[in-house]
Chains A and B, each alone.
Chain A
Amino acid sequence: MSSNSRQVAASTPRTGPWIIGYVISLGVAMAATATGLITEPRYAALFWVPILGCTAMIIFTSWKRHRMLGTLSGAVRKFWRRIVLSASFMFASYCVLAYGQMAADWGPAAQRAAYIGALLGFAGMAWSIHQYALDETDEYLRSQSIRQLLVASFVTLMVVIGWQMVASASGLTGGSLGMVILVWFGGLGIGRLVNELRP
């Protein structure tokens, strides 16, 4: 690597610390839910703050890194446009859902609509990531993104199956299916770390 390339690479913001922060926040939230530490929805919101904060920083630093390294290809631009749109839609739906659950006068139909909105937002995010792997013309970056997706699938399956086994053995009842989405994103983060450590 030339000294100029090394300087640019060294000065670009790192996503690693934010990914680690996301995984830790997620673990704490899952443990708190499973042990029954969080029962009130308003307190649950406290656990969302670090998760969402780290998510925002991962998106921001990744985008900045792409810009500084000059790797904002057409596929990457499309990816960011799609992911920001669908993430905003999902986040807005979750906010509506959380508000609806706390407001007693909201009927089940409105809550169902918010659930569907959140699901569509997540589907949009998952599709954006898969579509990027197809759109990317740079074969090395494509192979990296495919490895990241495989790591995410592996992590998600391991956590879900492990959680189920622990829950069956110990009688824990906490945790919701919605957490799988967060685990998958955590898995993508771990995949990114794997790519950075063993490129």
Chain B
Amino acid sequence: MKNRLKVLRAERDWSQQDLAERLAVSRQSVNAIETGRYDPSLPLAFRIADVFGLPIEDIFQREV
């Protein structure tokens, strides 16, 4: 699964730690999701969508 987490975070000038605090997860989790090493669960994906104020499909896309 691809995601636009890094781009969206950069647009808001947030560090990984900033995003991690907003999501109430560790910085390692944010790093793992951003680099595609870990696919978040559905509840966490919804939390990410809420934090960025975007629909899930605008953040996560299927790998073609």
**A residues engaging B (CB < 8 A)?**
1-2, 4-5, 69-71, 73, 137-141, 143, 199
- CB of B61 within 8 Å of the partner chain: no
- Chain B 16-44 interface 0/1 with A at a Cβ cutoff of 8 Å (1 = within): 11000000111111011100011011001
Which B residue sits closest to A142, measured CB to CB?
B29
A-B contacts besides A1-B31, A199-B32, 14 pairs, CB < 8 Å: A4-B15, A5-B27, A71-B28, A73-B26, A138-B26, A138-B29, A139-B41, A139-B44, A140-B26, A140-B29, A140-B40, A141-B28, A143-B38, A199-B37
- Contact check, B15 vs A2: say whether CB atoms are below 8 A apart: yes
* Closest Cβ–Cβ distance, residue B18 to chain A (whole Å): 9
Q: How far apart are the CA atoms of A150 and B40 in the complex, in Å?
A: 21
Contacts of A137 in B (CB 8 A): 24
Q: How far apart are the CA atoms of A4 and B14 in the complex, in Å?
A: 12
Q: How far apart are the CA atoms of A133 and B24 in the complex, in Å?
A: 17
Q: How far apart are the CA atoms of A138 and B28 in the complex, in Å?
A: 10
Number of interface residues of B (CB under 8 A): 17
Q: How far apart are the CA atoms of A137 and B16 in the complex, in Å?
A: 18
Q: Which of A1, A69, A137, A140 has the most CB of B within 10 A?
A: A140
- Contact check, B27 vs A69: say whether CB atoms are below 8 A apart: yes
* Closest Cβ–Cβ distance, residue B28 to chain A (whole Å): 6
Contacts of B29 in A (CB 8 A): 138-141
Q: How far apart are the CA atoms of A199 and B40 in the complex, in Å?
A: 14
* Closest Cβ–Cβ distance, residue B41 to chain A (whole Å): 6
Q: How far apart are the CA atoms of A139 and B41 in the complex, in Å?
A: 8
Which A residue sits closest to B31, measured CB to CB?
A1
The 7 closest A-B CB pairs, nearest first, are: A140-B29, A2-B15, A138-B26, A71-B26, A138-B25, A5-B16, A140-B32
- Contact check, A5 vs B38: say whether CB atoms are below 8 A apart: no
Contacts of B28 in A (CB 8 A): 69, 71, 140-141, 199
Q: How far apart are the CA atoms of A140 and B44 in the complex, in Å?
A: 11
Contacts A199-B32, A199-B37 known; A140 to B15 CB distance under 8 Å? Answer: no
- Contact check, A71 vs B40: say whether CB atoms are below 8 A apart: no
Contacts of B15 in A (CB 8 A): 2, 4-5
